[in-house]
Amino acid sequence: MKILVVNCGSSSLKYQLFDMTDESVLAKGLVERIGIEGARIKHVKTGMDTVIKNTDIPNHKVAFKVVVEALLDENHGAIKSLDELSAVGHRVVHAGEKYAGSVIITQGVIDALEECVPLAPLHNPANLMGIYAVTEALPNIPQAGVFDTAFHQTMPGCAYMYGVPYHYYEKYKVRRYGFHGTSHFYVSRRAAEIVGKPVESLNIVTCHMGNGSSITAVKAGKSVDTSMGFSPLPGVIMGTRCGDVDALLVSFLAEQEGIDNKAMSHVLNKESGLLGISGISSDLRDIEEAADGGNQRAKLAEEMLFYGVKKYIGSYAAAMGGMDVLVFTAGIGENSARAREGICEGLEFMGVKIDREKNKVRGEERIISADDSKVKVIVIPTDEELVIARDTKRLVTDGK
Ligand code: ADP
């Protein structure tokens, strides 16, 4: 069974083609700059060199046609006919409170996702464009939606409600939703496999740290709290996002600067975080280099990140009544030994003891805690696409 996984952004379309008989990736790629000058597709058939083709790609429908052409290409393609494709799985960011798991896409699902557009104005419209593009090109193929918010639907009310008047929750669905759910789900399951215990018996804190970062408390396999909220803005400081701030800063700064909501949202989403504090870069590699060179603001940005993650770990251990496993994943979590060490420093009191030698790891699965550490600390490369492919396969074969 071959399954195509599609992840659409506002100007991009990422894809991976899986052979589900052994879960291998046959081909993958990225269409960039959709609707912008200089559009192109980067396609790789597994085991071969990357092929780059520059072509005019005005919208997602054309982008998907270009992907289909690449997949069927006789030199670097991976299928001979579209009949080989059994289903398409889509990453969709926001499903509100509607779906706590993945679903087969029907008109009813599309309507529900359209309703969620105000909750995720930057992401859901792009995800929907992907669904429309596939529906037009392959009208008879089953499609599944896998949602970033779904895994967090198990949070209790005390974790997801905000302390604003209750009628705003009823009227506007204002609450914590959480994101990166597919990644937190994947690494928590892998962590349980690695330590050889059922996930139901473990308290796990998962740190997904990339350009966007979120920390999640996974108790008995379920998300019970997570650091992102109504939007992907809060939590720890990120590449360009501010993370947690006093809500009154927003109106205060808007007034002082004489800027409107849209401009304020740009400041908080695009000009803040590591970039805003350091004034140098949103990329932790640049921050680390500048901090080593004596740049005090870069040092501060790094310390704010480590301190913020440490506080979440402590509070989630408290929320779960203890922590057995701590997981690091995504760009920073998988690659920065320095971030992992900086975050874990001082957590020895709660049984976290990193082995510096084992921590010298990049992008591979490894237990990095000392043998006598009470808490197992593990680096796990995330694989959201694999979860999407597995859910899609399950839905088309079992119907649930
Ligand atoms: P996204 O959230 O966009 O999917 P990624 O998970 O790919 O992002 O993470 C990208 C971030 O990972 C980069 O901005 C960079 O800060 C960080 N990163 C990647 N490699 C390293 C490294 N070797 N050391 C420190 N940070 C790294």
Question: Residue 254's domain spans which residues?
Answer: 197-384
Q: Is the CB of 333 within 6 Å of ligand 1?
A: no
**Whether 233 and 380 share a structural domain:** yes
Do 7 and 115 belong to one domain? Answer: yes
| Cβ–ligand 1 contact at 266 (below 6 Å) | no
Quick one: 115 and 256 in the same domain?
no
Residue 185 lies in a domain: no
Domain boundary among 147, 178, 213: 147
Our mutation pick for probing the ligand 1 site, out of 278, 284, 380, counting the most ligand atoms within 8 A of Cβ, is 284
Looking at residue 247, the DSSP 8-state letter turns out to be: T
Q: Decide: 331 and 298 in contact? Cβ < 8 Å.
A: no
Give yes or no: residues 124 and 264 share one domain. Answer: no
Q: Give yes or no: 148 in active site.
A: yes
* Residues 211, 80 share a domain: no
Query: pLDDT at position 56, please?
Result: 94
282-333 pLDDT, tens digit per residue, is 999 999 999 999 999 999 999 999 999 999 999 999 999 999 999 999 999 9
Kindly state whether residues 66 and 215 are assigned to the same domain.
no
Is residue 68 domain-shared with residue 204, that is, in the same domain? no
The rounded percent of the chain whose pLDDT value lies above 70 is: 100
Please tell me which residue in 19, 49, 73, 148 is annotated as part of the active site. 148
Give, for ligand 1, the residue of 285, 341, 385 to mutate: max count of ligand atoms closer than 8 Å to Cβ.
285
Atom of ligand 1 nearest to the CA of 330: 6
Q: Is residue 400 part of a domain?
A: no
Burial class (CB in 10 A: 0-12, 13-18, 19+), 201: exposed
- Lowest-pLDDT range of 121-135, 196-210, 297-311: 121-135
CATH of the domain at 256: 3.30.420.40
Tens digits of per-residue pLDDT, 173-184?
A: 999 999 999 999
Residues 138 and 210 both lie in one domain = no
Please indicate, yes or no, whether residues 319 and 247 belong to a single structural domain of this protein. Answer: yes
Mean of the per-residue pLDDT values of the chain: 96
* pLDDT value, residue 286: 96
In a domain, 234, yes or no: yes
Give the per-residue pLDDT at 237.
98
332 close to ligand 1 (CB < 6 Angstrom): yes
Please check whether residues 202 and 127 belong to one and the same domain.
no
What's the pLDDT score for residue 76? 95
> What is the arithmetic mean of pLDDT over 26-37?
95
Q: How many domains does the chain have?
A: 2
Domain annotation covers residue 334: yes
Q: Which residues contact 87 (CB under 8 A, 6 or more apart)?
A: 1, 3, 4, 141, 142, 143, 144, 392, 393, 395, 396
Q: What is the mean pLDDT of residues 78-104?
A: 96
Kindly state if the Cβ of 284 falls inside 6 Å of ligand 1.
Answer: yes
127 and 226 inside one domain: no
- The answer to the question of residue 272 being in a domain is yes
Are 53 and 39 in contact by the 8 Å Cβ rule? The answer is no
Residue 154, domain member (yes or no): no
- pLDDT at site 120: 87
Q: Does a structural domain hold residue 393?
A: no
Q: Residue 150: which residues within 8 A CB-CB, separation 6 or more?
A: 95, 99, 100, 101, 102, 181, 182
| Whether residue 91 sits in one domain with residue 213 | no
Q: Confidence class of residue 34 from pLDDT cuts 50, 70 and 90?
A: very high
- pLDDT for the residue 122: 81
Residue 389, domain member (yes or no) = no
